[in-house]
Structure 1
Amino acid sequence: MKKIFFIITITLFSVNNFFAQTKKETSTSSATENVFAKSYNNVNDFEKILNPDQTNSLNKTLNAFEKKTLYKILIITVSSIKPYNDIYEYTQNLDKYLDSNLRLRPTIIIVLSKQLRQIQIVGEESIRYKFSDNEAKEIVSGFAVPEFKKGDYYKGLEVTVAEIIKKLE
Structure 2
Amino acid sequence: MKKIILYSLLLFSKIVFCQSVDNNEKYFKFQYDTIVEKTFVLDLEKLFDKTQIKELDNLTAEFEKETSIEIAIITFDDKYKSDEDFHQNTLFVANWIGIGKKELNNGILIGISKKSRKIRIENGDGIVTILTDEETKSIIDKSFIPNFKEKKYFEGTKEGLKKIIEHLKMKLKK
TM-score scaled by length of structure 2: 0.70
- The one-letter code sitting in structure 1 at the alignment partner of 2:120 is Q
The Cα of 1:77 is off from its aligned counterpart by: 0.3
The Cα of 1:86 is off from its aligned counterpart by: 2.3
The Cα of 1:129 is off from its aligned counterpart by: 1.6
In 2, Cα distance between the equivalents of 1:43 and 1:53? Answer: 12
- Which residue does 1:127 correspond to in 2? 127
Q: Contact between 2:111 and 2:120, CA under 8 Å: does it hold in 1?
A: yes
Q: Which has the higher helix share?
A: 1
Equivalent in 43, 64, 67 of residue 66 of structure 1: 64
- Which residue does 2:114 correspond to in 1? 114
Structure 1 regions of 5+ residues with no counterpart?
1-25
Question: Please, what is the CA RMSD of the aligned residues?
Answer: 3.1
In 2, Cα distance between the equivalents of 1:166 and 1:82? Answer: 31
In 2, Cα distance between the equivalents of 1:95 and 1:120? Answer: 11
Identity, % of aligned pairs? 26
The Cα of 1:112 is off from its aligned counterpart by: 0.2
Cα deviations by residue, 1:80-105 (Å, 9 ceiling, x for unpaired) = 166985211111111222139xx8x7
Identify if the C-alpha distance between structure 1 residues 137 and 57 changes in structure 2 by more than 3 Å, giving closer, same or farther. Answer: same
Give the SS at the match of 1:47.
Answer: coil
Q: Which has the higher strand share?
A: 2
- The one-letter code sitting in structure 1 at the alignment partner of 2:30 is N
- Which residue does 1:141 correspond to in 2? 141
Identify if the C-alpha distance between structure 1 residues 83 and 97 changes in structure 2 by more than 3 Å, giving closer, same or farther. Answer: farther
- The one-letter code sitting in structure 2 at the alignment partner of 1:56 is K
In 2, Cα distance between the equivalents of 1:106 and 1:128? Answer: 9
Cα deviations by residue, 1:48-89 (Å, 9 ceiling, x for unpaired) = 010111111111111111111110000000121669852111
- The one-letter code sitting in structure 2 at the alignment partner of 1:98 is I
Q: How do 1:1-169 residues align onto structure 2 when only pairs under 5 Å count?
A: 31-34=27-30, 41-80=39-78, 85-99=84-98, 107-169=107-169
The Cα of 1:148 is off from its aligned counterpart by: 0.5
Structure 2 regions of 5+ residues with no counterpart?
1-20, 170-174
Give the SS at the match of 1:126.
Answer: coil
In 1, Cα distance between the equivalents of 2:106 and 2:81? Answer: 23
- Which residue does 1:20 correspond to in 2? none
Look at both structures and tell me which one has the larger radius of gyration over its CA atoms.
Answer: 1
TM-score scaled by length of structure 1: 0.72
